[in-house]
Chain A
Amino acid sequence: MATTTAPVRRRRPRRSGIQGREAVAGWLFVAPVLVILGLFLVLPVAMAAWVSVSDWTGRGSPFSSDVGFVGAQNYRTLMVDGGLATQDFGTAMRNNAWYVLLVVPTQTAISLFLAVMVNRRILRGRGFFRTAFYFPSVTSSVAIVVLWLFLFSASGAVNKLLSFIGIAGPNWFNDPRGIVHVTLGAIGVDAPAAGLLAEHGFLGITWWQWLAGPSFAMSAFILMAVFTTSGTFMLLFIAALQNISGEVEEAAMMDGTTAWQRFRLVTLPMLRPTLFTVLTLGLIGAWQVFDQIYTGTQGGPSKTTLTPAFLSYQASFNNGRWGQGAAIAFVLFALIVVLTVAQRFILRESDTVPRRKRFVRTPPVPTLTDEKSST
């Protein structure tokens, strides 16, 4: 790094006087932030990278001479060996994969739906509705988990409501059965179809176990995630919707389109960038479930709410397997990066709107937005 900056420095003329002072001021202004980010973001990543390939047990400094380098051993134990560590990791990945699969599309759809509903100019009480939908997003996840444990307890409010329509609700936070398995059981498919599904697997658990679906406990967390995040994403969608000029919609309306056609052909294509933001943020957030598990179930019942983030914490802080904990964090990091890049790639591909429809992409008339930002 240092060697590359030297020639650059020579190229530019030395600054003096006010400009020189300004450069000093600039560095002084950003210095505190750089120090903090460096110390508590960059350095930790480097340290964890070392710990994940070491046999550090949590005593003394991870850099002391009696801590050994073990190469990929921690990663192997997690992903290949097939022992308890691998099974736990596989289970955690299974749980979180279902969580992501169900949470991300649902929260995106609901927040978009709410935004479109609430954004109508003729609607009265828009402020009230926005507040109502956004409020869960500002409250602490700990408080919401406490509430959720109450609402979803065996004799809680949710089961009471279900009983009104004749459904005997499950014992949500204590029921480890996967909902896919329960559904399959209801139509008579009970045992793992012997052979492929039962005998082969991935990350230490069988395909049959992967296909179990989220447990009832995890399902309650899934509902909670939708409840707490849809408000934030709704605001992002509202912001984007307000940037769409009314004229485009009016023009479409003149062409005799139905409301649904206008939404699908005009509004939705213009929301693509926001859609991408929401999906990415949702994906990143959903792979990091920690607070809820720590507060609520600590991974139980039967490890069905274990998530990689919580497992990483548990392996390190409770079981003293720091190398494994750090390795889990890095696998999770890699996964999030890969998925985000993949998502960007996929959405880019479909983002090329056919030339015929390009007219809807003309830059929005800025009057509306300017009015707002100037107030």
Chain B
Amino acid sequence: MARTATYAVLLAVAAVYIYPFLINVATSFKTDADATSDPLSLVPASWSLDAYSRLFLRSDFPVWFANSAIVTVCVTAGRVFLNSLAGYALARVDFRGRGVVFAGIIAVMAVPGVVLLIPKFLVINQLGMYDTYAGMIIPLLSDAAGIFIMKNFFESIPRSVEEAAKIDGASTFRTFWSVVLPMARPALVTLVILSFQGSWNELSHFIVSAQSPELMTLTKGVAQLASGALSQGNQYPVKLAAAAVMTIPVAVMFFIFQRRIMNTTEGAEKG
């Protein structure tokens, strides 16, 4: 009895969480009139690919998609490398000032991102990186949370693993690269997921780091769509198709690594 009630409640809540996405996808295949007249139904009155052909053939959507892909790939690769490098040094390499560096990084973590919107623009502009890929990518390359995750992971690996390599005279980088890093796969995967998701979904940084249409990312482009560019009237199917397409990469990522996400997040709390 109690168990039935539990399932009933959970299923109801799950429906609330899932149904909007089903509506999203269904509506992207509807006609404008159908979308407005029957917003709840999951089956279009007549299937239409109009929204998608409009997006991919008659708008800059492909450019946005490509830009998001470029930025996301660069940011993810860079972040994973730089964060694990720094995380390793902070966990294992004995150098003077390590504690200060770590404390500094933790302090930086506390600065709320939105506070940095204007200042980031000022610096990017001052460095002559405004409206370039460099300006969009480089500032996102390191994040304190990622360093933290890597540091914690490296600390959990027993030191004996590296000792053999050290005795053989391997350099610190060599030890890091060929001995320790391959063992860090679980943490690296976590970092890849977080960086991918974070940079793909990033909006505010791109707003302040570029303005030219050639450098428009999906988030910026779709935000513009939402506020009525490209269309007269509501044009919900086009907007929702755009939203659906931009969700696909993170969704794919999510479902591939789902087990890992659920587990590592559980692990992250324990440190």
Binding site for B on A (CB under 8 A): 9, 12, 18-19, 21-27, 29-30, 32-34, 36-37, 39-45, 47-48, 51, 61-62, 114, 117-118, 120, 122-123, 127-136, 138-147, 149-151, 153, 155-157, 160-161, 227, 231, 235-236, 238-240, 242-243, 274, 284, 287-288, 290-291, 294-296, 298, 309, 312-313, 316-317, 322, 325-326, 329-330, 332-333, 336-337, 369, 372-373
Contacts of B18 in A (CB 8 A): 132, 135
A329 to chain B: which residues have CB within 8 Å? Answer: 114-119
New A-B pairs, 19, CB < 8 Å, besides A29-B173, A290-B204: A9-B96, A24-B95, A26-B93, A27-B97, A29-B86, A32-B141, A37-B142, A39-B123, A40-B138, A43-B123, A135-B21, A136-B17, A140-B250, A142-B246, A153-B39, A298-B227, A329-B115, A333-B115, A373-B270
| Distance, CA A142 to CA B227, complexed state (A) | 11
Contact present for A25 and B89 (CB under 8 Å): yes
In the bound assembly, the distance between CA atoms of A141 and B207 in angstroms comes to 14
Which residues of B lie under 8 Å from residue A133 when comparing CB positions?
13-14, 17
- CB-CB under 8 A from B263, the residues of chain A are 372
Number of B residues near A (Cβ < 8 Å) is 101
User: Quick check: A131 and B258 within 8 Å, CB to CB?
Assistant: yes
B85 contacts the other chain (CB 8 A)? yes
Interface contact B225-A146, CB-CB below 8 Å: yes
Q: Do B222 and A227 have beta carbons less than 8 Å apart?
A: no
**Which of A21, A132, A309 touches B14 (beta carbons < 8 Å)?**
A132
Interface residues of B (CB under 8 A from A): 3, 6, 9-10, 13-14, 17-18, 20-21, 23-24, 27, 35-37, 39-40, 82-83, 85-86, 88-90, 93-98, 101, 104-105, 108, 110-124, 126-127, 138-139, 141-142, 144, 147, 156, 166, 171-173, 176, 197, 200-201, 203-204, 207-208, 218-219, 222-223, 225-227, 234, 236, 239-240, 242-244, 246-247, 250-251, 253-254, 258, 261-263, 265-270
29 contacts between A and B (CB under 8 A): A24-B95, A26-B93, A29-B172, A29-B176, A30-B86, A36-B142, A37-B104, A45-B119, A51-B118, A132-B18, A135-B17, A140-B201, A140-B219, A142-B222, A142-B226, A142-B246, A146-B240, A146-B243, A150-B39, A151-B39, A290-B117, A291-B203, A291-B204, A291-B223, A312-B118, A329-B114, A329-B116, A330-B115, A373-B270
Contact assessment for B89 and A44 in the assembled complex, using a CB-CB cutoff below 8 Å: no
Contact B265 A239 (CB under 8 A): yes
Instruction: Tell me which residues across on chain B come within 8 A of A147, comparing CB atoms.
Output: 20-21, 23-24, 240, 243
| B250 neighbours in A (Cβ, 8 Å) | 138-140
Q: Are B39 and A48 in contact (CB under 8 A)?
A: no
Cβ of B93 and Cβ of A22 under 8 Å apart? Answer: yes
B6 lies within 8 A of A140 (CB): no
Determine if B219 and A21 form an interchain contact, defined as CB atoms under 8 angstroms apart: no
Q: How far is the CA of A236 from the CA of B18 in the complex (A)?
A: 21
Closest beta carbon of chain A to B45's beta carbon, Å: 15
Contact of A235 among B24, B82, B203, B266 (CB under 8 A): B266
- With a CB–CB cut-off of 8 A, which chain B residues contact A242? 266
Minimum distance in angstroms from A149 CB to a CB of chain B: 6
Which residues of chain A are near B85, meaning CB under 8 Å?
29-30, 32-33
Complexed CA–CA distance, A115 and B65 (Å)? 35
Known: A41-B116, A51-B118, A313-B117. A142 touches B93 (CB 8 A): no
- By a CB distance below 8 angstroms, the chain A residues around B37 are 155
| Interface residue from B39, B118, B268 paired with A157 (Cβ < 8 Å) | B39
Known: A43-B123, A47-B119, A61-B126. A26 touches B98 (CB 8 A): yes
